[in-house]
Amino acid sequence: MNITVQVDEVSLGTVVAEVVAFDEEGDPYTQGERTVADLVVTQIMAHLLKDDRYRSLAVKVAEIRTEEIRAAVRPQIEEAIAAPVQKTNTWGEPLAGPAITLRELIVGEARKLLSEPVDSYGSRTTVVQKMVADAVRGALSKEIADAVRQARDAVSEQIGIQIAEAVKAGMRSR
């Protein structure tokens, strides 16, 4: 008995299987098709995922993708910042006056922040003064804590030496 198999042209787009899924009643239906390309990609991915270098490659691809997105978006952001906008009230209604750029609006808000009081209870301290004071306080407390730690270590060392000498003297007198 001779069996003859004739295979016509096979390409990556050749359909080799149907993808079957089941609906909520359990009845099967055809969800799609699998091609030679699908099977090749599946095998390549399985092989790549086993390789330790895949993670570093994935990170590198993500970095490149992020940089490309930034490069594509940057001109649009610059254009949006430079384009004039009309100021509006709380309800989105345009206010009287000329249109200003987003850059001018940001600079104005920053200037306001520099002179704005910390609270609305008549404080004369501005937000920036408080931020500077907090930063100085944090730096000083770290330096003081380091100095106290060093002094404590030195005292502990001296006490340890004195205790050791007292123990030696007590042992000699026995």
The candidate with the shortest Cα–Cα distance to 95, out of 106, 87, 103, is 87
> What is the arithmetic mean of pLDDT over 58-65?
92
Determine the pLDDT at residue 54. Answer: 82
Q: Number of C-alpha atoms within 13 angstroms, CB side, residue 153?
A: 6
Q: Which residues contact 11 (CB under 8 A, 6 or more apart)?
A: 36
Domain boundaries, the chain: 16-81, 83-115, 118-174
Q: Greatest CA span in the chain, whole angstroms?
A: 111
At 38, the amino acid letter reads D
**Contact, 130 vs 115, CB < 8 A?**
no
Its pTM stands at: 0.37
Q: Which residues pair with 88 in a beta bridge?
A: 94
Q: Tens of pLDDT along 7-51?
A: 788 888 888 889 899 999 999 998 899 999 999 999 988 888 888
Instruction: Give the total residue count for the chain.
Output: 174
